[in-house]
Structure 1
Amino acid sequence: MPLLVLAFAVAFTAAFGCSEEVEPEQPVDEPLPARPTPSYSEGNLSVAQRGVAIDEHDLAVIGTGSVGVSPDELTGSFGLLVLNRPYVDWRTTRCPRSSEAAEYLPRARSEAIINALADERDVHFDKIAVNVALLTPGQRALLYVCFDEGARVARFDVEEHRRSIIAAFQDLAGLPGIAYITVGVEMNRYYHLVTEDGEPLLDDYTNWVTLYRDVYRAIKEVNPDVKVGPGISWAVFRRRTMPAIAEELRLEDRDGVEAAVAAARRTILPLLAAGRGAAREKTADYLGVTMIPFDVEAPFEGEAASDDPDRLADLLDYWVYLPYLLGEGDARLPLVLPIVDWAEASGAGGAKKGPFLTTLKRAVSDFGVAWAAWRRLSDLPRRPEGQNPCNTFTANQDPALRYEASYCRSGMMEESGVRRDVFEVLTED
């Protein structure tokens, strides 16, 4: 029985199947919390709070030359190696043989990068964080083809899919040095995904929530010390989910406290714990919030920072509801910013990355940041001939990762190793 149907059946039986005297459980009418009033500071991060995202394409800018970054500066400026990996890194049209399938999963790909850093650049980190993307679009068309049990789509209620994901995360939990695992990246996008015809996907957000909880428990069975959290997008929450929930509930203010709280309770808080009261079970050690704003939408409208106090206040207010997503009181979780970027497909955003990070650091300075990482150390190479690393991420074909074009220009350095000012902003003491 599909998970959503099963959940409904259990609820129906509990409400009506035992006795006529048993009344259905009523929703708890929880009061609205006060609007947050953060105390802002510069928000500079300590070395322990700084992560650096590295993959195989960043090795060229790590060295002892006049540009780029030396191994000593890299490990002295950042306390955490961050690896951004897709759940499966298949880029061919065939299914992998069972003997080679593990090569495409997060642990094997992560180990390859760690070994290359150590062997080729003498770079070693004591702590490692892995952010695993589960929704890269090009994978969807291939995943179900490779299922052995007959499923036609890679839904989160497909038992074979669930088992495979859980097994991959359990394997990742055994990676030496692993300290953080972010399960999914921007997974609240899934709440809004539709088919090409504009119809909601057959996949169900409720099934994702239950799968995430199972992944959390499975990781803890293997490695109780690793910290685990779900990954969501603040831009999606703030600019997509809040307005959608406000419209559904007929709220007058789509940007107000009531919309923010309702959106958090609907899409985020169920990931952090299961059950209520004495039966409450913690299912997250932190919340991973990707910070890549929709740069042309309000409040930014192409402007990453401002010297005008009133305009800066408007920008900072964009993040004011973040505490609602972290829980309350003793249950409040640390905030992790696993992926940060100011993304413009035109490439003009390079000069705005530093100012955006300055604004963001101030905005979250009162919210308990455990660590933060910029999206990439360096831009992806864009070679006119031969293998083009940028295209391997952004090609509009299946199977491919199909990242947006801005991903190729998301580094703290250019492809040549020339630094953008965002490097200094992130490493400022």
Structure 2
Amino acid sequence: MHDLRFIRENPQAFDAGLTARGAEPAADRIVELDERRRALTTRLQEAQSRRNEASKAIGAAMGKGDTATAEALKAEVAELKTALPALESEERALGEELDGVLAALPNLPAEDVPLGADESENREVSRWGEQREFAFEPREHADLGPPLGLEFETGSAMSGARFTFLRGQMARLERALGQFMLDLQTGERGYTECIPPLLVRDEAAFGTGQLPKFADDLFRTTDGRWLIPTAEVSLTNSVRDRILEDLTQPIRLTALTPCFRSEAGAAGKDTRGYIRQHQFSKVELVTVCRPDDHEAEHAHMVRSAELVLEALELPYRKVLLCTGDMGATAKRTFDLEVWLPGQGAYREISSVSWCGDYQARRMNARYRPEGAKKTEFVHTLNGSGLAVGRTLVAVLENYQQEDGSVAVPAALRGYMGGVEVLTSTQNRSG
């Protein structure tokens, strides 16, 4: 959500930010709706005040025996009582229309975000790691995985496309990756582990920006709740409708959860393999902080995700997204893209965003600066630390051997019971 005062005072800057995001200018309409609503609110307050004054004056007039004045006042009060519901209804309708316009708009980009229409105009910031040289033609994970327990056909037979059944060592590898990521984030990076709800109400999905615009990307249950597309929704909403009295230290939260996405906007993309699924696991990172702390926290979160890739010795690059490729709630986003030798390409494995107070306004999440009476909106950040399934894909492709086996990264061997190599023979019992 956006700050109405900022829009009133900076309409051209606001529209310029929307234009950079590929949205139509909206300042004139917002200001016009806001002025009409404020004028109506004033009329309503004046009418309510006059009704109260007239009601009190009736008794005074009757006490003086001034029947004519009392009857006139009664008539005025009756007229006001009839008019007030209509004014209240009109004010409510204008407020809902204004809120609807604001709720559908994306966040404004930060000044350092490059202008661009799509991912081709993103800006590479850095690279880490050496791409492995293979003595054979590296295969994609979709070819490597099935003999090792990554069963695409089993999953699709019971649930349809974009569902996968993991068996034996593949199931253990996914569990090991998630546990390793959680241990790193909680043990070294200062995040508090949480187990949040996987089902949320409308207001929670609205608070982090999934509703109303992206309802088609979500799964809804028969009782009207939403399956979370990421733990960002649950973790960020943990401060919904709260005033935080002490925010001198940022609140850093993490969770390993299943995530559910309809992928309505990704028809035809990554239909083969484990890259884009309706159900997948992810370690989410969320930070709630004071506005002045957002730069340091964004850097901290990006680094937290990078450390997972470096510990697993997976080459990656960091990319600053352009205005046309960012998510709607973000002011600035860095993507980490891992190298997949089977595809011969870098693919996104983490997206880390600073959202400013955009989500906080939707959630009414505030804090009270030390020594101040007035509250301010918090800033929120979120990112993947990492997407577990995509990390599994990266391990398979980067650690593959010529015979189809896969070496286990050193950082994961303790989580795999000491297993150093994954082979097809380990899954024959399945």
TM-score, normalised to structure 1, is 0.23
Which protein has the larger Cα radius of gyration, Structure 1 or Structure 2?
A: 2
TM-score, normalised to structure 2, is 0.23
